[in-house]
Amino acid sequence: MSVKIAENTLTLTRKEYDLLVYFIANHSKVITKSAIAEHLWGDEIDLSDHFDFIYAHIKNLRKKLIEAGCRDYIKSMYGVGYKFENV
Protein backbone atom coordinates (compact mmCIF):
# COMPACT_ATOMS: atom_id res chain seq x y z
CA MET A 1 0.00 0.00 0.00
CA SER A 2 1.25 3.48 -0.64
CA VAL A 3 0.38 6.89 0.75
CA LYS A 4 1.37 10.26 -0.69
CA ILE A 5 2.75 12.82 1.78
CA ALA A 6 3.69 16.13 0.17
CA GLU A 7 5.84 14.94 -2.75
CA ASN A 8 6.90 11.72 -1.02
CA THR A 9 5.31 8.36 -1.66
CA LEU A 10 5.32 6.21 1.42
CA THR A 11 5.15 2.42 1.10
CA LEU A 12 3.33 0.82 4.01
CA THR A 13 2.48 -2.74 4.94
CA ARG A 14 -1.22 -3.56 5.08
CA LYS A 15 -1.22 -3.38 8.89
CA GLU A 16 0.67 -0.03 8.91
CA TYR A 17 -1.83 1.36 6.40
CA ASP A 18 -4.81 0.10 8.42
CA LEU A 19 -3.24 1.55 11.57
CA LEU A 20 -2.72 4.96 9.93
CA VAL A 21 -6.32 5.03 8.66
CA TYR A 22 -7.57 4.04 12.13
CA PHE A 23 -5.53 6.80 13.75
CA ILE A 24 -6.81 9.39 11.26
CA ALA A 25 -10.43 8.25 11.75
CA ASN A 26 -9.97 8.65 15.52
CA HIS A 27 -8.01 11.90 15.35
CA SER A 28 -7.34 13.50 18.75
CA LYS A 29 -8.92 10.59 20.64
CA VAL A 30 -6.95 8.38 22.99
CA ILE A 31 -7.00 4.86 21.57
CA THR A 32 -6.19 1.97 23.87
CA LYS A 33 -3.77 -0.75 22.85
CA SER A 34 -6.55 -3.31 23.07
CA ALA A 35 -8.80 -1.23 20.78
CA ILE A 36 -5.98 -1.03 18.23
CA ALA A 37 -5.32 -4.76 18.50
CA GLU A 38 -8.99 -5.64 18.14
CA HIS A 39 -9.41 -3.31 15.17
CA LEU A 40 -6.40 -4.68 13.30
CA TRP A 41 -6.63 -8.37 14.23
CA GLY A 42 -10.25 -8.91 15.23
CA ASP A 43 -11.62 -11.04 18.02
CA GLU A 44 -8.83 -13.62 17.92
CA ILE A 45 -6.56 -11.05 19.54
CA ASP A 46 -8.13 -12.02 22.88
CA LEU A 47 -5.79 -15.01 22.80
CA SER A 48 -2.75 -12.73 23.11
CA ASP A 49 -1.38 -11.73 26.50
CA HIS A 50 0.92 -8.91 25.34
CA PHE A 51 1.01 -6.11 22.77
CA ASP A 52 4.59 -6.27 21.48
CA PHE A 53 3.31 -6.61 17.91
CA ILE A 54 1.45 -3.29 18.23
CA TYR A 55 4.55 -1.51 19.50
CA ALA A 56 6.47 -2.82 16.48
CA HIS A 57 3.86 -1.64 13.96
CA ILE A 58 3.59 1.79 15.57
CA LYS A 59 7.38 2.13 15.71
CA ASN A 60 7.66 1.27 12.01
CA LEU A 61 4.80 3.60 11.04
CA ARG A 62 6.32 6.47 13.05
CA LYS A 63 9.71 5.92 11.43
CA LYS A 64 8.26 5.92 7.91
CA LEU A 65 6.19 9.06 8.55
CA ILE A 66 9.18 10.93 9.96
CA GLU A 67 11.41 9.81 7.08
CA ALA A 68 8.75 11.16 4.69
CA GLY A 69 9.04 14.59 6.32
CA CYS A 70 6.21 14.47 8.85
CA ARG A 71 6.63 15.29 12.47
CA ASP A 72 5.70 12.64 15.03
CA TYR A 73 1.90 12.73 15.00
CA ILE A 74 1.55 9.58 17.09
CA LYS A 75 1.69 10.43 20.78
CA SER A 76 2.16 7.75 23.40
CA MET A 77 -0.26 8.04 26.30
CA TYR A 78 1.64 6.25 29.04
CA GLY A 79 -0.24 3.26 30.43
CA VAL A 80 -3.24 3.82 28.16
CA GLY A 81 -2.48 3.78 24.45
CA TYR A 82 -1.93 6.33 21.69
CA LYS A 83 -3.30 9.55 20.29
CA PHE A 84 -2.93 10.90 16.73
CA GLU A 85 -2.55 14.68 16.67
CA ASN A 86 -1.58 16.92 13.80
CA VAL A 87 -1.69 20.21 15.69
Which domains, and CATH codes, for the chain?
2-84 (1.10.10.10)
The answer to whether residues 72 and 65 touch, using CB atoms and an 8 Å cutoff, is yes
End-to-end CA distance of the chain: 26
pTM assigned to the model: 0.84
The torsion angle over the Cα atoms of residues 48, 63, 15 and 22, rounded to 10 degrees, is 90
**In whole angstroms, what is the distance from residue 1 CA to residue 72 CA?**
20
- For residue range 24-70, list pLDDT tens digits in order: 999 989 999 888 888 888 766 655 566 788 889 999 999 999 998 88
